[in-house]
Amino acid sequence: MNRAGRLQSARHWLATQTGRSPVQIARSYRKRYGVDWPCAIHELSQLGILLDSAWVAQLNLSLLGAHRARRQRGGATQAMADWEQADSNDEFAYIAGYTANGFPFGLTWDEWRQSAPESRRTDSENECPF
């Protein structure tokens, strides 16, 4: 449903929302019409519902924090994906790059095993020598 349709429908719906606070109306509006918070706040203001400006400011800060957290998680996920797609061969666990002559450089398998925590070591490395 587009904005014009929502606004027309919401006029009738608002008549059923007696005794509810503007914040409760905003939550219900968002859920009923499937819109995000900024859209719900804008459309409710067009319909004459006055929301507390402090509450709106706090909501905007919360949305901004959630957006930043998603971006950071996405960056961490992308870094992990880059690591998993990294080049490796029989000598190197991770190839960081290549020299001008085409020789690889990076983390060797021996260096990888030495830096590995116990949980990442292979069974043969965890075996007791006795």
> Which residues lie below 8 Å from residue 72, measured CB to CB, with a gap of 6+?
none
Based on the fold, state whether residues 12 and 72 are members of the same structural domain: yes
Do residues 3 and 43 touch, judged by C-beta distance below 8 A? yes
Based on the fold, state whether residues 58 and 103 are members of the same structural domain: no
Domain span at 114: 86-123
What is the greatest pairwise CA distance in the chain? Answer: 81
In a domain, 129, yes or no: no
Do residues 14 and 47 touch, judged by C-beta distance below 8 A? yes
Based on the fold, state whether residues 90 and 67 are members of the same structural domain: no
Model confidence at 9, in pLDDT bands (50, 70, 90)? very high
pLDDT per residue over 18-63, tens digit each? 999 999 999 999 999 999 999 999 999 999 999 999 999 999 888 8
Based on the fold, state whether residues 51 and 97 are members of the same structural domain: no
pLDDT per residue over 78-95, tens digit each? 665 655 556 777 888 878
Count of domains observed in the chain:
2
